[in-house]
Structure 1
């Protein structure tokens, strides 16, 4: 059942702007520059984590100046539940990355359970090295592992319910041009 449209519109109307479009685009440029320096001669396979990573990945890929193979994967730990369980693959990687470097692009590093599981899967499946790039890194103490960090981070944000640039509020506002926090959350 679709969300109440009036409620969804109210969420945006009342949202706090955390990062403007210009700030997000500048962060994507910085991440691209870092990746270009690090992976320029590695012939990586680059995976976009669906659905959240789609916008960040699309913007980022056009700024990478080296040869790469691009694909996507779709994994979830939630499967319509409120708490995560075992990793469920909605679409497994279809491009071979055996003995190759892999770059995983995702929207946000929150607690990191899914990203950790994807990285572990790629390592077990034969990737020579796995790198991670996220648009947002949410700052809190609930990370899956205390040492969990993405290799490339666009922006850091406070521990709030955020949306925009691929991140959603109940399936909506992934298309918001900026990064917003739900009022009071």
Structure 2
């Protein structure tokens, strides 16, 4: 059966991704030394990065999941599944596999800030500022990329390819 990656070119190999994850984990551990972190994982794409970060960070931690979706391109954003733990007064990190337009991330950030965490930061594996519609920036960035369509390591094309351990781009 043909895979979507068969029509794509390799962009980041598994080893490269893990180096970026290690760099991000070290930065977070350094910044949060002696504190507990609550990771917020937006479903579905961020599950791989969240799991890898959690395994690499030895600080006390919790995780919760949200599902935020945009109804259509440029359309309304809605919360399909909200957090279930109390983040008031806690150190919270939103984990994103990629920041593109920033619309859903901005919505999620505002929603979480309403719960009055002690701190709220954003970590992303990939940052694509060329597509940004809102002025939002991650505190921890694995790699800044050009405006390319990527699939793998949680990122998908019509829900296909999330399971790839490497990241691929459309062939030019």
1:118 aligns with 2:108: yes
Which residue of structure 1 lines up, in the alignment, with residue 123 of structure 2? 133
Whose strand fraction is larger, Structure 1's or Structure 2's? 2
TM-score, normalised to structure 1, is: 0.87
Unmatched tracts of structure 2, length 5 or more: none
Aligned ranges for residues 25-174 of structure 1 at < 5 Å? Answer: 25-78=18-71, 81=72, 83-140=73-130, 142-146=131-135, 148-174=136-162
CA shift at 1:87, angstroms?
A: 2.3
CA contact (8 A) 1:48 1:104 kept: yes
Unmatched tracts of structure 1, length 5 or more: none
| C-alpha RMSD over aligned residues | 1.5
CA shift at 1:182, angstroms?
A: 1.8
SS of aligned partner of 2:56: coil
CA contact (8 A) 2:8 2:169 kept: yes
In structure 2, C-alpha distance between the alignment counterparts of 1:157 and 1:108, rounded to whole Å? 10
In structure 1, C-alpha distance between the alignment counterparts of 2:133 and 2:86, rounded to whole Å? 27
Q: Across the two proteins, how many residue pairs are aligned to each other? A: 172
CA shift at 1:91, angstroms?
A: 0.9
